[in-house]
């Protein structure tokens, strides 16, 4: 969330920057609303001061035996005016909050122009996409032939865009999660958390999912409780520190969790909906860093490296791209995607997204720290996937498939699985 005064001071600069991401900012409306709210606050303060003065005068006049009827009537009138002004102030404050909650983060200058994935700028490629002397299959055909993926029975259970992993497939999913968690906790210094998968409306608002993206969320209602299934581990991890002041000496905080994620993906039908790429329920290892505002970009670069380490451990070819301003998420000011090569599609597909949010989430969630002068200031947040398990599994199957229908797994998974090869019939081999 923004500070309204900062946006107004930026004026046309804020309008131009938000226009890069397709948002039209009406500065005059914002300025008018803030002015009316401030005027209401001042009026309330003046009325309260007058009410206190009248109360003192009533007491003094009564002690002196004077007539206090007119003074008491003036005091009652002042109290009624205070109630009316407070109600107006609350209404204007809510309108201002709703307006500010609807304004996306200002895109960073480094974000290229454009509004689609085609406008992303490639930063680097790592590894050579594998070449095959046979026609490579995608992970759906390969996994179903091996008997380790079952999308038909998943559809029977829950409808489309769910999956069932069976036998070695389920073991591989578990092994990938364990590998990623071990990398991040033992090598990269993150603290693992086990967090709730159902959160409040306020928690969703703190990280920017609400109010804008309510149609993408799965919502539950039991009695008078209104809870949402988390779309990403970012939501509970970041909001662990909502409404807290974190001492500067404790920053940066590095948090990770392995959670299920639930997304309706409203409006995305037809885009990467085959297989494990874009599902309503999927598992992910999430990374969150909370830091001083001037450290956000450096922390983002470090997190990109942590996500890349996962792909290198799996011997996967990938590339890193910077998203265009108009294709950057609502709460982010700069995003880098890691895209893994999928031979079955002969294309790079996103497997991780790392974003610098600046103080946008810190301001919304009330996550604060102190500056060099000891004054409280919103903390910065950085978030990334490290990694989505299903997408990583799909890439492992596709890039490491063999001509005989088997899959030769990367050596990093052997300690977690106890075998190196998945035979064409889906059984462990080379244990």
pLDDT in tens, 360-415: 999 999 999 999 899 999 999 999 999 999 999 999 999 999 999 999 999 999 99
Blockwise average pLDDT, block size 10, the chain, 431 residues:
94 97 96 96 94 91 87 91 95 95 96 96 97 96 97 95 96 98 98 98 96 92 91 98 97 98 72 81 97 97 98 98 97 98 96 97 97 94 97 98 97 96 94 65
Give me 134's structure tokens: 């046979």
User: What pLDDT is recorded for position 222?
Assistant: 86
pLDDT in the model for residue 272: 61
Question: Is 353 labeled as catalytic in the residue annotation?
Answer: yes
Has 430 been annotated as catalytic?
Answer: no
| CB of 15 closer than 8 Å to CB of 45 | no
Nearest to 254 by CA among 338, 185, 332: 185
- 263 classed as catalytic: yes
Which residue is catalytic, options 286, 364, 391, 406? 391
Summarised one tens digit per residue, pLDDT across range 296-332 is 999 999 999 999 999 999 999 999 999 999 999 999 9
d(CA 233, CA 190): 14
Predicted TM-score (pTM) of the model is 0.93
Options 308, 313, 350, 398, the catalytic residue: 350
Q: Which one of 17, 137, 161, 263 is the catalytic residue?
A: 263
Q: Which CA distances in Å does 248 have to 144, 206, 372?
A: 51, 21, 9
- The residue from 353, 355, 385, 406 that is catalytic is 353
- Name the catalytic one among 137, 278, 289, 349: 278
368 is catalytic: no
Classify strands 191-193 and 253-262 as parallel, antiparallel or unpaired.
Answer: parallel
The count of other CB atoms within 10 Å of the CB of residue 325 is 26
For residues 135 and 142, give the distance between their C-alpha atoms in angstroms, rounded to a whole number: 12
3-state secondary structure of 138: coil
pLDDT in the model for residue 201: 96
Cβ–Cβ < 8 Å for 310, 316: no
pLDDT score, position 93: 95
Nearest residue to 333 (alpha-carbon basis) of 297, 387, 287: 297
Report pLDDT for 271: 52
Predicted local distance difference test score (pLDDT) of residue 285: 98
- In whole angstroms, what is the distance from residue 368 CA to residue 291 CA? 10
Asked if residues 300 and 385 have their Cβ atoms less than 8 Å apart, the reply is no
In order, the DSSP letters of 345-400 are TTEEEEEEEEEE-TTHHHHHHTEEEE-TTS-EEEPEEEEEEEEEHHHHHHHHHHHT
Task: Tell me whether strands 380-388 and 281-291 are parallel, antiparallel or unpaired.
Answer: antiparallel
In this structure, are residues 269 and 278 in contact, taking their beta carbons and an 8 Å threshold? no
59: Cα separation from own chain's centroid:
57
């Amino acid at each position: 969330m923004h500070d309204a005064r900062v946006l107004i001071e930026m004026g046309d600069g804020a309008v131009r920057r938000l226009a890069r991401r397709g948002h039209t900012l009406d500065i005059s409306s914002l300025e008018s609303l803030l002015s009316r709210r401030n005027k209401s606050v001042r009026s309330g303060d003046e009325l309260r001061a007058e009410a206190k003065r009248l109360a003192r005068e009533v007491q003094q006049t009564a002690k002196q035996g004077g007539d206090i009827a007119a003074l008491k009537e003036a005091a009652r009138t002042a109290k009624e005016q205070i109630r009316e002004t407070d109600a107006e102030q609350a209404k204007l404050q809510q309108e201002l909050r709703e307006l500010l909650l609807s304004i996306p983060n200002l895109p960073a200058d480094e974000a290229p122009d454009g509004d689609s994935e085609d406008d992303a700028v490639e930063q680097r490629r790592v590894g050579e996409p594998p070449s095959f002397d046979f026609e490579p299959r995608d992970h759906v055909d390969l996994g179903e032939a091996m008997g380790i993926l079952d999308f038909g029975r998943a559809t029977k259970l829950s409808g489309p865009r769910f999956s069932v992993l069976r036998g070695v497939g389920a073991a591989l999913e578990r092994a990938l999660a364990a590998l990623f968690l071990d990398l991040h906790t033992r090598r990269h210094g993150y603290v693992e958390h086990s967090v709730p998968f159902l959160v409040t409306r306020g928690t969703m608002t703190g990280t920017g999912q609400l109010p804008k993206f309510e149609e993408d969320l799965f919502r539950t209602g039991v009695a008078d409780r209104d809870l949402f299934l988390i779309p990403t581990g970012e939501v509970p991890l970041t909001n662990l520190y909502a409404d807290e002041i974190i001492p500067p000496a404790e920053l940066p905080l590095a948090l990770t969790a392995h959670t299920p994620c639930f997304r309706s993906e409203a409006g995305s039908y037809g885009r990467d909906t085959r297989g494990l790429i874009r599902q309503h329920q999927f598992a992910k290892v999430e990374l969150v860093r909370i830091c001083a505002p001037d450290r956000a970009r450096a922390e983002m670069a470090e997190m990109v490296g942590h996500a890349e380490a996962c792909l290198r451990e799996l011997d996967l070819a990938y590339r890193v791209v910077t998203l265009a301003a108009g294709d950057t998420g609502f709460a982010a000011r700069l995003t880098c995607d890691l895209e893994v090569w999928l031979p079955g599609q002969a294309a790079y597909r996103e497997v991780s997204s790392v974003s610098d949010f600046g103080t946008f989430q810190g301001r919304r969630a009330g996550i604060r720290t102190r500056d060099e002068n000891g004054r409280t200031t919103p903390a910065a947040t950085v978030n990334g996937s490290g990694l989505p398990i299903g997408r990583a599994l799909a890439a492992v199957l596709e890039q490491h498939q063999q001509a005989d229908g088997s899959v030769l797994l990367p050596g990093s998974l052997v300690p977690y699985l106890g075998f190196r090869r998945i035979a064409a019939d889906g059984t462990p081999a080379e244990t």
